[in-house]
Structure 1
Amino acid sequence: MSTVVYLAAFVFAMTSVLLFRRPRRAMRNPLTLSTCVAVVLGALVFVCAAPATLATVNRLTGVPNFGAPLTYGMLSAYSCSVLVLLINWRGGSRERVRRLVLRCMAAYGLLIAAIVVLFLLAEADTERLNDLDTYYANTPFMREMILLYLLGHSAAMLAMCTVCVKWGREVGGLLRTGLRLILVGSLLDVVGFQVAKYTAVVARWTGHDLDFLSTTLAPPMASLAALLCSAGFVLPRLLPSARAQWRALGDYRRLAPLWTLVRSVSTAPKPPTGWWQLPQARLQWREVSIHDALLALAPYFDHRVRERVRDGALRAGGTPHRARLAAEAAMLADAARRAAAREEPPEAAAAYRLHATEMSGTSGLVELAQELNRPPAAATAPGGTVPPLAEPEEPHVA
């Protein structure tokens, strides 16, 4: 039981690390900050609710069942943070958002205080790690404390369901997907966790025993519901970034032929190779290094090579764009060969800017790299490229 709960807490913690990877920027963004707070509090709820944690807290404090108000207070704080996150997600004027957030925090602050006071007034001397809700369902003050934390959590989940249904009709894309996940998680929490708890407690009030609903069914349902809600909250924020990193990784790999060709003349600092470097950072370093190398190779550009390849590509039926791309790739390959051999710049060298360096982003460089990567057999196709230049034959010596 504790292992499963700790695993859920670990998933929550890793999610918060991903969201909070840039602390300064996150602190200035109320939406990111509230998302991180909600996820962290969700992780703490799971940690506090684990029987192993409850036993440790009770032993360290010397108070039987001290973990109960701690867990219930943490759950109430999580419910509050979820509502605050929804308020920030919904947006609006700064004053309106601030007013709603303060009201929500005040209401749940009073709820947490009431939970603590009721626990202090109750007599709960027998430690219960798994079935406290049903064991003390008929105990004065403990009964009210249990009912109070359930009502506070129910209010947050029902409010979340209402907002998700209403807002889901107005938005689309990833935001709608996230709202649907939150809605499913909230409904699962209401039905699988809260209804099970309410039923087990009411059964105790009427003299029946349905404790298994509270001890066996409710915990895994709560874990699954919280994971779905967290996925709904973080998906619209993490997935665009994940897609950008995936595209950056693809561009980084597609630039490999160009980087292999020019890396020997680049004077830019070597790109970091640590495992912690994300694809976008790696791509940026490679792009900067390639631009630096292209500047170094510019004096070796031979316009005769470029014009000869371009004219040949046009005669083969290629489009002007494909012809220029093939010509620039051939000229760049020739320049890299001359630089590697430490030859003098050609007489036909002149100022020339590659088309790839005039385009924003990495699309131009990627296109040039893929042209360099074309096999010789494909270069003869009428798609626009031409075979690589043949080396001039040496004169025969009699």
Structure 2
Amino acid sequence: MSLVVYLAGGALALAAVVLFRRPRTPARNPLTVSTCVAILLGAIVFCCSAPMTLAAVNDLTGVPNFGAPLTYGMLSAYSCSLLILLVNWRGGARERVRRLIRRSIAAYGALVVAIVVLFTLADARTERLTDLDTYYANTPYMREMIVLYLLGHTAAMVAMCLVCLKWGREVTGLLRTGLRLILTGALLDLLGFQLAKYTAVVARWTGHDLDFLSTSVAPPMASLGGLVCSAGFVLPRLLPAAVAHWHGLRDYWRLGPLWNRVEFVSTAPKPPASWWQLPLERLHWREVAIHDALLALAPYFDDRVRQTALSAALGDGRPAHEARVAAEAAMLDAAAHRAAAREEPLPTPSTYRLHATEVSGSGGLVELARALGGTPAADTVSEGTVRAFPD
């Protein structure tokens, strides 16, 4: 069981790190902070509840079952963080948001104090690593502590379900998908983890033994519910950025033929080589470097080459825009050949502007690269403008 909860905790911690490290995300944004705090607390809860962790904490403190109030206190803090996250996600008047957050912290802060006090008053000398809830279900003060932590977590999950159901009717797109995932995770927690715990504890109260629900069913359901719930919080915030980076990586590779053709004249300073550099950053640098190279090759542009290629493309029945890009690719290819051969620039260079330089984004450059893809590469050098052009 330790492996299951450790894996769940590790996955949650990784999600929080990725979200917090997302570029252009203000570190002090309340929504970002509350999301990361909630996910990290969930990871800590899973790690604290693992039998191996419980045994280590008990040995370290010298108090049998000290890991129980620690885990239940962290679970209560996690429940509070989920409510705070929902408040920040929903937004509204700043004073109202602050008031709701203060109330949540006050309520769950009191719950954590009550858990610690009840554990201190209880007689729990026998260490139980997997079945503490059912073993001490009839023990004074421990019984109340167990019920309190379950009720506190139940209140948070029910509140989440109600908010998701209400808000889900008002939003669309990724936000609605995220709310549905949160609702699914909350229901898995309620019907899997908490119902199993309640049933096992009540069974002990009535003289029956259904401990397997608490020890075998509840932990994996809690792990699954926590992962699904966290995915619902993270997905609407990370997926758009992930899609943008995927498109950036795609365009970066599509610009390969164009970059290979003009790289030798680009003077754009290369960024530090970093394997962790994000695709959009790589794409931005390649676009800047290509535009720099196109500017350097402009004195070699020959309108006669372009007009000849344009007439040929139109004669083949190609659409006007496609024919224009093909003609520009032919003119650029010829210019790269002349520059690589260290020829003199044309006496009267073309003043024609490439389509790729008239439009924003990488779309125009990608079209030019595609048109160049089938053209034989120039015999170029790779040490920059100084060596590519004659003195």
Q: TM-score range by the shorter chain?
A: over 0.9
Structure 2: runs of 5+ lacking an equivalent: 377-391
Structure 1 residue 23, shift from structure 2 partner: 8.6
Structure 1 residue 177, shift from structure 2 partner: 1.1
Structure 1 segment 342-381 matched on structure 2, within 5 A? 342-374=342-374
Q: Distance in 2 between matches of 1:267 and 1:102?
A: 56
Structure 1 segment 120-269 matched on structure 2, within 5 A? 120-269=120-269
- Which letter maps to 2:64? P
- Partner in structure 1 of residue 42 of structure 2: 42
Q: Distance in 2 between matches of 1:314 and 1:345?
A: 28
- Which letter maps to 1:277? Q
Structure 1 residue 271, shift from structure 2 partner: 4.4
Specify whether residues 99 and 23 from structure 1 end up closer, same or farther in structure 2 by C-alpha distance, changes over 3 A only. Answer: farther
Q: Distance in 2 between matches of 1:101 and 1:53?
A: 31
- Partner in structure 1 of residue 339 of structure 2: 339
Higher relative contact order (CA 8 A, sep 6+): 2
Q: Which runs of 4+ in 1 moved over 4 A?
A: none
Structure 1 residue 70, shift from structure 2 partner: 0.4
Q: Distance in 1 between matches of 2:332 and 2:81?
A: 57
Residue pair 1:154, 1:190 contacting (<8 A) in 2 also: yes
Structure 1: runs of 5+ lacking an equivalent: 377-398
Structure 1 residue 135, shift from structure 2 partner: 0.8
| TM-score, normalised with respect to structure 1 | 0.92
Is 2:274 the counterpart of 1:279? no
- Which letter maps to 1:139? T
Q: Structure 1, residues 245-302: CA drift from partner, whole Å, max 9, x if none? A: 1100110011001001001111112244432111111111111111111111111111
Structure 1 residue 122, shift from structure 2 partner: 1.0
- Partner in structure 2 of residue 112 of structure 1: 112
- Which letter maps to 2:286? R
Identity rate of aligned residues, in percent? 73
- Partner in structure 1 of residue 297 of structure 2: 297
Residue pair 1:49, 1:71 contacting (<8 A) in 2 also: yes
Q: Aligned residues, how many? A: 376
Structure 1 residue 328, shift from structure 2 partner: 0.9
Structure 1 residue 315, shift from structure 2 partner: 3.5
Q: Distance in 1 between matches of 2:167 and 2:24?
A: 30
Structure 1 residue 22, shift from structure 2 partner: 4.7
SS for the counterpart of 2:163 is helix
Residue pair 1:272, 1:282 contacting (<8 A) in 2 also: no
Q: Distance in 2 between matches of 1:54 and 1:360?
A: 57
Q: Distance in 2 between matches of 1:106 and 1:220?
A: 30
Q: Distance in 2 between matches of 1:109 and 1:24?
A: 33
Q: CA RMSD in A?
A: 1.5
| TM-score, normalised with respect to structure 2 | 0.93
